[in-house]
Amino acid sequence: MPTIIDKLSDALHLHSHQSTFDSKVTVIFVLGGPGAGKGTQCARLVEDFSFSHLSAGDLLRAEQHREGSEYGQLIQTCIKEGSIVPMEVTVKLLENAMTATLAERRSGEGWTDGRGRFLIDGFPRKMDQAEKFEHDVGKATAVLFFSTTQEVMLDRLLERGKTSGREDDNVESIKKRFNTYKEQTMPVIEHYEKLGKVIEIDSSVSIEEVHQKTRSAVAKLLSGSTT
């Protein structure tokens, strides 16, 4: 009996090939624990530098309800059972979203002559996801890592939980998410640190201060003078 993964592999026609995007396309992974402020800072960077902001979680949530989706049922099952969506699906959705954005032929800084700028938020969460993306889609230019303490994250998420309506904004869930992040995502950050690609920003301070530091670091990166 073929498993869901077998069917998925067939559907995706998985085979080794050259990555889809070349060095004309800037890809910045945005990582940090739950409540580190990733979404807030991404929204600011979109305004500052005309990035396209892609959230792996948002793409999966949208895909499960998209009419005619070949992955919708699989994503729904994974979410319902609390299992991780196969990385092939997440990577394919990111690739499709990048292709669609580049096809819009946007004008403005960073988008001429087949170039593009992408912030990929909350991805890769595990080392195998990073390897799959780099093999199939393209190399990450840099990793923006918003670091802070567990206490700061806990306070922020509990505050957000008062209005967010998110089931996972409670103490028990937050601690589990924080542990998962430490076990699975920190090795990804350490891997990119060895490659000299990590830009670490202390996000314990105010949103404005974090934004100033982030904007300055990204401006350096885009001008090709990273330190």
Q: Does 51 carry a binding-site annotation?
A: no
Q: Does 115 carry a binding-site annotation?
A: no
Other C-beta atoms closer than 10 Å to the C-beta of 108 total 9
Q: Does 171 carry a binding-site annotation?
A: no
Helix (H, G, I), strand (E, B) or coil at 195: coil
Q: Does 218 carry a binding-site annotation?
A: no
With the C-alpha atoms ordered 117, 123, 127, 132, is the resulting torsion angle positive or negative?
Answer: negative
Q: Does 84 carry a binding-site annotation?
A: yes
Q: Does 184 carry a binding-site annotation?
A: no
CA dihedral 200, 111, 42, 119 (to 10 degrees): -60
Q: Does 182 carry a binding-site annotation?
A: no
Q: Does 123 carry a binding-site annotation?
A: yes
Q: Does 129 carry a binding-site annotation?
A: yes
Q: Does 177 carry a binding-site annotation?
A: yes
Rounded to whole angstroms, the Cα distance separating 41 from 208 reads 9
Q: Does 39 carry a binding-site annotation?
A: yes
Phi and psi angles of residue 101, each rounded to the nearest 5 degrees, phi first: -65, -45
- By the 8 A CB rule, do 71 and 89 touch? yes
Q: Does 145 carry a binding-site annotation?
A: no
Phi and psi angles of residue 126, each rounded to the nearest 5 degrees, phi first: -135, 160
Q: Does 37 carry a binding-site annotation?
A: yes
Q: Does 160 carry a binding-site annotation?
A: yes
- By the 8 A CB rule, do 86 and 126 touch? no
Which residues are part of a known binding site? 35-40, 61, 83-85, 122-125, 129, 160, 166, 177, 205
Known binding-site positions for ATP: 35-40, 160, 205
Binding residues for a ribonucleoside 5'-phosphate: 61, 83-85, 122-125, 129, 166, 177
